[in-house]
Chains A and B, each alone.
Chain A
Amino acid sequence: EPEVTQTPSHQVTQMGQEVILRCVPISNHLYFYWYRQILGQKVEFLVSFYNNEISEKSEIFDDQFSVERPDGSNFTLKIRSTKLEDSAMYFCASSDEQPRQPQHFGDGTRLSIL
Chain B
Amino acid sequence: AQSVTQPDIHITVSEGASLELRCNYSYGATPYLFWYVQSPGQGLQLLLKYFSGDTLVQGIKGFEAEFKRSQSSFNLRKPSVHWSDAAEYFCAVGPNQAGTALIFGKGTTLSVSS
Q: Are the chains A and B members of one assembly?
A: no
